[in-house]
């Protein structure tokens, strides 16, 4: 990408040789108007090979809650199939965390539209097609973003990895507790209402026996959930329940089984121990008229971090969907 009109130039990224990051300055918000640093997002990608033509389709990756992009193996799998992966660390997440700004907090998911719009505009300047691939809370955010921008031709497909489309829990939590959160999130948005369980993160991380090495300052095992965040997520769930009208093909993928989220167990990485796949399957058809749902047997909550063979199956399903519904090469356009 050669457009230097948005923020500083690219710099070397924490992922190491070949990876670069660009800081995207965002509009001032309430925090910055009170003296905090201004919000930023961060766009990450592998430096292109000068000897090879740039792929015609870009895939923009959006992370989940208390998360960031550390998935070069996903970029590798997509590159092998002819797709160019970029990743966006949203404001106050991962690479975009700034001192003086609370990490991983938001009171309106639509706030993220600014950085998604900016990233998509940049990618459309250098690619023919753009796909948004998103995980968990990022999946909810991406679906709401795509619905709000239908008819504009901004996105050619969505790929949603275990999207958070409904609250896991009992009927009381989904009704009475949600009503209480709606009030609390409006009057006391920073009130801590719960805390994420640490077991799934510990199962993932190399320091505690897992397969993946990532920055625990950016993706800690446990984190406080505040009322303002919970309120906007539940309002997003309500919008999904009423039905969206995303006007591009959507692939929704989830594990084939739920595991308990409140204790250590041997199936933490072979079940979804954060969300309920049955809820994801039930809500997926409400996203739009063209939705494909795929179960990944033995998948973890982040299907891309599942042990093989579930991870291999997940990536193969993504590539199959993209090849079928989006395409990568000039000859595919000619055949369309």
For residue range 290-321, list pLDDT tens digits in order: 999 999 999 999 999 999 999 999 999 999 99
Q: What is the pLDDT of residue 170?
A: 85
Q: Quick: pLDDT tens for 99-123.
A: 999 999 999 999 999 999 999 999 9
**Percentage of residues in the chain having pLDDT higher than 70:** 95
Q: What is the pLDDT of residue 55?
A: 87
Q: Which two tokens stand for residue 38?
A: 């201004």
SS3 string, the chain, reads CCCCCCCCCCEECCCCCCEEEEEEECCCCHHHHCCCCCCEEEEEEECCCCCCCCCCEEEEEECCCCCCCCCHHHHHHHHHCCEEEEEEECCCCHHHCCCCCCCCCCCCHHHHHHHHHHHHHHHHCCCCEEEEEEECHHHHHHHHHHHHCCCCCCCCEEEEECCCCCCCCCHHHHCHHHHHHHHHHHHCCCCEEEECCCHHHHHHEHHHCCCECCCCCCCCCCCEEEHHHHHHHHHHHHHHHHCCCCCCCEEEEEECCECCCCCCCCCCCCCECCCCHHHHHHHHHHHCCCEEEEEECCCCCCHHHCCCCHHHHHHHHHHHHHHHHCCCCHHHHHHC
Could you give the CA distance from residue 42 to residue 334 in angstroms, rounded to a whole number?
35
Dihedral of the alpha carbons of 212, 87, 260, 174, in degrees to the nearest 10 = 160
CA 330 and chain centroid, separation: 29
> For residue 329, is pLDDT > 90?
no
Q: What is the pLDDT of residue 151?
A: 96
Q: What is the pLDDT of residue 54?
A: 80
Q: What is the pLDDT of residue 173?
A: 86
CA 101 and chain centroid, separation: 21
Q: Quick: pLDDT tens for 179-192.
A: 999 999 999 999 99
Could you give the CA distance from residue 214 to residue 204 in angstroms, rounded to a whole number?
9
Q: Quick: pLDDT tens for 86-103.
A: 999 999 999 999 999 999
The domain made up of 11-167+244-335 is a member of CATH 3.10.20.30: no
Q: What is the pLDDT of residue 253?
A: 99
pTM metric for this prediction? 0.94
pLDDT-derived band of residue 328, with 50, 70 and 90 as boundaries? low
Q: Quick: pLDDT tens for 167-213.
A: 998 888 889 999 999 999 999 999 999 999 999 999 999 999 999 99
Q: What is the pLDDT of residue 2?
A: 41
Q: What is the pLDDT of residue 49?
A: 80
Q: What is the pLDDT of residue 136?
A: 98
> For residue 323, is pLDDT > 60?
yes
């Amino acid at each position: 990408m050669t457009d230097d009109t948005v923020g500083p130039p690219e710099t070397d990224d924490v992922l190491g040789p070949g990876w670069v990051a660009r800081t995207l300055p965002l509009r001032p918000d309430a925090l910055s108007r009170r003296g905090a640093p201004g919000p930023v997002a961060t766009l990450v990608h592998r430096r292109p090979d000068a000897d090879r033509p740039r792929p015609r389709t870009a895939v923009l990756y959006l992370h989940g809650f208390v998360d960031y992009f550390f998935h070069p193996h996903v970029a590798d799998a997509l590159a092998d199939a002819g797709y160019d992966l970029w990743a966006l660390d949203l404001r106050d997440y991962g690479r975009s965390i700034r001192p003086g700004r609370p990490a991983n907090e938001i009171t309106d998911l639509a706030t993220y539209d600014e950085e998604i719009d900016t990233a998509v505009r940049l990618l459309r300047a250098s690619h023919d097609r753009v796909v948004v691939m998103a995980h968990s809370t990022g999946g909810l955010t991406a679906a709401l973003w795509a619905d709000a921008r239908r008819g504009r031709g901004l996105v050619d497909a969505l790929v949603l990895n275990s999207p958070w489309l409904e609250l896991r829990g009992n009927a009381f939590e989904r009704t009475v507790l949600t009503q209480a959160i709606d009030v609390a999130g409006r009057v006391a948005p920073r009130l801590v209402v719960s805390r994420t369980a640490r077991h799934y993160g510990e199962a993932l991380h190399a320091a505690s026996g897992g397969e993946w090495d990532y920055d625990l300052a950016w993706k800690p095992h446990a984190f406080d959930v505040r009322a303002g965040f919970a309120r906007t997520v539940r309002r997003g769930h309500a919008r999904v329940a009423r039905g969206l009208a995303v006007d591009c093909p959507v692939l929704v993928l989830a594990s084939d089984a739920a595991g308990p989220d409140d204790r250590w167990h041997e199936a933490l990485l072979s079940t979804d121990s954060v969300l309920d796949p049955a809820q994801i399957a039930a809500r997926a058809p409400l996203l739009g008229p063209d939705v494909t749902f795929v179960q990944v047997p033995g998948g973890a909550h982040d299907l891309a971090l599942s042990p093989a063979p579930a991870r291999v199956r997940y990536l193969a399903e993504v590539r199959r969907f993209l090849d079928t519904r989006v395409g990568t090469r000039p000859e595919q356009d000619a055949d369309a």
